[in-house]
């Protein structure tokens, strides 16, 4: 069972995991708004959103960016799913996605692109770590279909 959590979303509402009981939930963690890989991943999830919805699945993108940044990112690309702000890294710690990365020769701590699928009963069904942005949303759709 995933511990209940709450996070601010790009709609201005708080999203609480316990309120989503009875639905499958995709939480995809990404490093930063408006970067090439994160944009590609978001566009792909958005394009496939109607398919996820048919399968009783909600999608949330999560990064350490602020709600203001998320709103600009969402509006720029027309995302129809919520982006969750994890500025205090509480969700990042819960799902252990903060890892040491090498950026231009410097060691930095950042989000490792990872996705978690939570079942209708709020148990972790699968985790995908070190994912590649390109094609990832399609892989998640195939996985969700395999749960049916």
Domains of the chain: 6-147 (3.40.30.10)
pLDDT tens profile 22-46: 999 999 999 999 988 899 999 999 9
Catalytic residues: 38
pLDDT tens profile 50-90: 999 999 999 999 999 999 999 999 999 999 999 999 999 99
The whole-angstrom separation of Cα 101 and Cα 93 is: 16
Percent of the chain with pLDDT strictly greater than 90: 86
Q: What distances in angstroms separate CA 138 from CA 14, 26, 74, one per listed residue?
A: 27, 13, 20
What pLDDT is stored for residue 148 in this prediction?
Answer: 79
How much of the chain is helix, strand and coil, in % rounded to 5?
Answer: 35, 30, 35
């Amino acid at each position: 069972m995933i511990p209940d959590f709450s996070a601010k979303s790009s709609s201005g509402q708080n999203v609480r995991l316990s309120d989503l009981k009875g639905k499958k939930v995709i939480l995809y963690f990404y490093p930063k708004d408006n970067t090439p890989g994160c944009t590609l991943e978001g566009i792909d999830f958005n394009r496939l959103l109607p398919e996820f919805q048919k399968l009783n699945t909600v999608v949330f993108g999560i990064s350490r960016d602020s709600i203001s940044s998320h709103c600009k990112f969402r509006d720029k690309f027309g995302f129809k799913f919520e982006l969750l702000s994890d500025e205090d890294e509480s969700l990042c710690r819960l799902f252990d996605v903060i890892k040491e990365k090498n950026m231009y020769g410097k060691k930095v701590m950042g989000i490792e692109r990872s996705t978690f699928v939570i079942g209708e009963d709020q148990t972790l069904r699968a985790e995908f770590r070190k994912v590649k942005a390109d094609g990832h949303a399609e892989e998640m759709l195939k996985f969700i279909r395999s749960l049916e």
